Structure 1
Amino acid sequence: MTDQTFDIIVYGATSFVGQIMTRYMQAQFADGSIRWAIAGRSKSKLETLCKDAGLSGIEMLVADAGDEAALKAMCARAKVIVSTVGPYALYGDTLVKVCAETGTHYCDLTGEPQWIRRMQDRHEDAARQSGAWILHCCGFDSIPSDLGVHFLQQQAAKRFGQTCNRINMRVAKIKGGASGGTIASMINMVKEASGDAELRAQLKDPYSICPPGHGFTARQPDVQMAYDEEYGSWIAPFIMAAINARVVHRSNALSQNSYGDGFLYEEAMVSGKGGGGKRAARAISWGMTGAMIALALPPTRWLLENHVLPKPGEGPSEQQQREGEYDLVFLGTTPRGDKIRCRVTGDRDPGYGSTAKMLAQAAACLAKDLPDTTPGGFWTPASLMGDKLIARLEAHAGLSFELVEASG
């Protein structure tokens, strides 16, 4: 990377979340602390973004997701590439390959476990050899979950001298709109799985993105509609739980099993107390099951894609992003039975307003905060950035990590 000019290049800057992120970065790094540029496949769209967002003086690079030569030229200009070009299973392979081979650090906001596993299998050796840090899941899936567990485990170790062997995350509050890009990624995953029995089995494995030889065998909880005595509320399945739990388990493996060999982790949505809470939990549970069945059947999937669900490039309005928020509560138990809780909150729509800030700060952390001696490979937010990223998120991205109570 002899011609390295930029700390960060935002690839896919004209995507829905890419536009939010570039506006945020323009304000956040106006002091010149981060040298950055934007990139994408359409020069005209990049020019329109610069005009609309007031990105004066920002360099534009043109590269198609399938053009390896153009992507290599782009990577030669940057220390970190941050990609918002999804569904990643359709458009992300070549960029990860190039970053892994050239030693260019990389982060994205994918929530596609089947693609993450393919990238690890194909490019982990190259990333280790080149020194590239490859980071997936740097948005709402899965930074709050991954760093929430990391934060709680550190607090447990300080207070009790041991980490928790079980943590339950409860979505106490969540407000935000859906995006067509996220829907498209989910639909693509369902399409892939419907014709691939091996992939369907992989998607049932909570350790599917853990490194080979991880040795984890604990049967992980399968959350259904239930009453949670510890939290004091009815709960229902949470749609992001599958990817979040996989990232948390990979963090455990990459930290030398610091959470324990039999660590249990689960996530669920809080729906309230009494009869109303029970009915809400049932509606969420049945709704998720029905949606997955509908997406798995080609006729109903076509109907949803073309007439019901938002298209890629569509998403919540600026007002919806500002009014969005989330509140996640983590309940930990140590092997001795000590209890501890923490809360992670965000001040924007989780999937877009908050995700854009998290992704930008993850890229900045890769560019500025980590020692060059850190080995290359496929990391997770907690295992690679940990406390450094928490500090950035609390200072600049509207997140808070707070210990709620502890006893024992």
Structure 2
Amino acid sequence: MAEKRLDLLIFGASGFTGKYTVKEAARLCKNNPFSWGVAGRNKERLNNVIKEFAPEFESIPVVIADIKDEESLVKMAKMCKVVINCCGPYRFYGEAVVKACINSGTHHVDVSGEPQYMEEMQLKYNKAAQDAGVYVISACGFDSIPCDLGIIFAQQKFKGEINSVETYLNSWTKHNKRSAVIHYGTWESAIHGLHHGDELRDLRTKLFPNKLPKLEPKLQPRGFVHRNVISEGWSVPFLGSDRSVAYRSQYFLYENDKIRPAQLQTYMTLKSMFSLISLTCIGAVFSLMTKCKCGRSLLLMYPRFFSCGLVSHEGPDPEAMEKTHFSLTLSANGWKDKLAEPTDKHTNPMDKQMIAKVSGTNPGYGATCTMLIISALTVLREADKMPNNGGVLSPGAAFAKTTLIDQLNNNNVKFEVISSVEK
């Protein structure tokens, strides 16, 4: 008789994100039980993570799997229904786990914020995942659930037709002690992602063979620095993966459900001009140094120096993480009336605006782990509400018709409508 599969298995559980995912799995399992385990290269380190972050679950399975050992990855994948992959940078370590999951009939979720990795996986494995009945879903964390599902939330609540959405990300801390805010793994992913950014053009030409319809009025990007009444401070373009992930969702919903795609621009807001100038200087140096091998090596060797203390191998201080808050404000503009076809053109000016917000605490390693575990559980429990019986999808495409947003609302990630005005 075949051994029963675990519901979830956290791969890379001894890493920085992995251990907080273990902590969140233990919390969520108390109120809504599911079977789960941890996986990685070193049994002793995995046991230590369980003792520290999930002491009530010391008897859970510990699986040894190595990213360099394909057989061990397949064996791991066959032991569970969903692999939660916390082993990054995904550009280097993600594909082997995706292949093992598809070959084993096992779903896969991760917290990648790497557009090239995510889009390459979709291009290479979407058909294979559909044939296997497997969902492969990346960006199931702070990149990019708030933005991607926030737009889905706005589209569901708008009661009309959205033409465009602008998002504004804010983050602040009430902790007085100076601490790193980013773990080294995220820094490493960003370095390689920016260096290979030029490769995205050819990739997207293949991934999106049919262009989205030209929508009017066209959403124009704002200036490099601007102010907006819905987000207090100085706002600049947000260079994370939110926009690329949300585009994939809007493209999918247009192609499959004939929903008018929302145009999107993403921004982040800084409270002071000093913060803006500091971040701009760090970003300029970072961007220039990623263009050459020597620069990349220096960035990887001295992350704390080149980030002015924002990045470290140890990651953020736990107390500081718990006192860090985030909000993503979405300004959705469109019409109160919905036309029959998504390509139909409105003859009247836009006459409705809705402001929505997604907010929570500890975005990088608290809320992210909540989103990740609940995404995995949603795949496990609500696959009948998800599209195409499988595939490599963005969160918005995968979870638009599920209860994921409601579940997050019940777990300290709040989706809300702030205002809705008809002109």
Structure 2 counterpart of 1:392: 407
Q: Are the structure 2 counterparts of residues 283 and 317 from structure 1 closer, same or farther at C-alpha, using a change threshold of 3 Å?
A: closer
- Residue deviations 1:338-397, cap 9 Å, x none? 11100110122x11122111111111111123328851101222222235111111112x
Q: Are the structure 2 counterparts of residues 72 and 402 from structure 1 closer, same or farther at C-alpha, using a change threshold of 3 Å?
A: same
Q: Root-mean-square deviation (CA), in Å?
A: 2.7
Q: CA deviation at 1:190?
A: 3.5
Q: Given that residues 172 and 270 in structure 1 are in contact (C-alpha distance below 8 angstroms), is that contact kept between their aligned partners in structure 2?
A: yes
Q: Does 1:188 align with 2:196?
A: no
- Residue deviations 1:135-184, cap 9 Å, x none? 0000100000011111111111x2xx22x111000123344811111011
Structure 2 counterpart of 1:125: 127
- Residue deviations 1:7-53, cap 9 Å, x none? 10111111101101101211220356211011112222212222333
Question: What is the TM-score of this pair, normalised by structure 2?
Answer: 0.84
**Aligned-partner Cα distance in 2 for 1:151–1:84:** 26
Q: Are the structure 2 counterparts of residues 401 and 213 from structure 1 closer, same or farther at C-alpha, using a change threshold of 3 Å?
A: same
Q: Are the structure 2 counterparts of residues 222 and 294 from structure 1 closer, same or farther at C-alpha, using a change threshold of 3 Å?
A: farther
Q: Given that residues 117 and 209 in structure 1 are in contact (C-alpha distance below 8 angstroms), is that contact kept between their aligned partners in structure 2?
A: no
Q: Are the structure 2 counterparts of residues 34 and 126 from structure 1 closer, same or farther at C-alpha, using a change threshold of 3 Å?
A: same
After TM superposition, the structure 1 stretch with the greater mean CA deviation from structure 2, 228-237 or 326-335, is 228-237
Structure 1 counterpart of 2:297: 302
Q: CA deviation at 1:324?
A: 1.1
Q: Are the structure 2 counterparts of residues 255 and 296 from structure 1 closer, same or farther at C-alpha, using a change threshold of 3 Å?
A: same
What is the aligned counterpart of 2:384 among 337, 350, 371? 371
- Residue deviations 1:79-138, cap 9 Å, x none? 111100000111111110121233211100011111112212221111010110110000
Amino acid at match of 2:192: N
Q: Does 1:145 align with 2:147?
A: yes
Q: Are the structure 2 counterparts of residues 119 and 302 from structure 1 closer, same or farther at C-alpha, using a change threshold of 3 Å?
A: same
**Aligned-partner Cα distance in 2 for 1:43–1:314:** 21
Amino acid at match of 1:392: Q
Amino acid at match of 2:407: R
Q: Are the structure 2 counterparts of residues 256 and 188 from structure 1 closer, same or farther at C-alpha, using a change threshold of 3 Å?
A: same
Q: Given that residues 209 and 250 in structure 1 are in contact (C-alpha distance below 8 angstroms), is that contact kept between their aligned partners in structure 2?
A: no
Q: CA deviation at 1:312?
A: 8.0
Superposition pairs of residues 334-345 of structure 1, within 5 angstroms: 334-335=334-335, 336-345=350-359
Structure 2 counterpart of 1:167: 165
Q: CA deviation at 1:295?
A: 2.6
**Aligned-partner Cα distance in 2 for 1:2–1:150:** 40
Q: Given that residues 225 and 282 in structure 1 are in contact (C-alpha distance below 8 angstroms), is that contact kept between their aligned partners in structure 2?
A: no
Q: Are the structure 2 counterparts of residues 238 and 40 from structure 1 closer, same or farther at C-alpha, using a change threshold of 3 Å?
A: same
Q: Secondary structure at the residue paired with 2:396?
A: helix
Structure 2 counterpart of 1:215: 212
Q: Secondary structure at the residue paired with 1:33?
A: coil
Q: Are the structure 2 counterparts of residues 153 and 7 from structure 1 closer, same or farther at C-alpha, using a change threshold of 3 Å?
A: same
Q: How many residues align?
A: 388
Q: Are the structure 2 counterparts of residues 297 and 362 from structure 1 closer, same or farther at C-alpha, using a change threshold of 3 Å?
A: same
Q: Are the structure 2 counterparts of residues 281 and 126 from structure 1 closer, same or farther at C-alpha, using a change threshold of 3 Å?
A: same
What is the aligned counterpart of 1:64 among 63, 66, 70? 66
Superposition pairs of residues 16-165 of structure 1, within 5 angstroms: 16-30=16-30, 33-53=33-53, 54=55, 55-156=57-158, 158=159, 161-162=160-161, 164-165=162-163
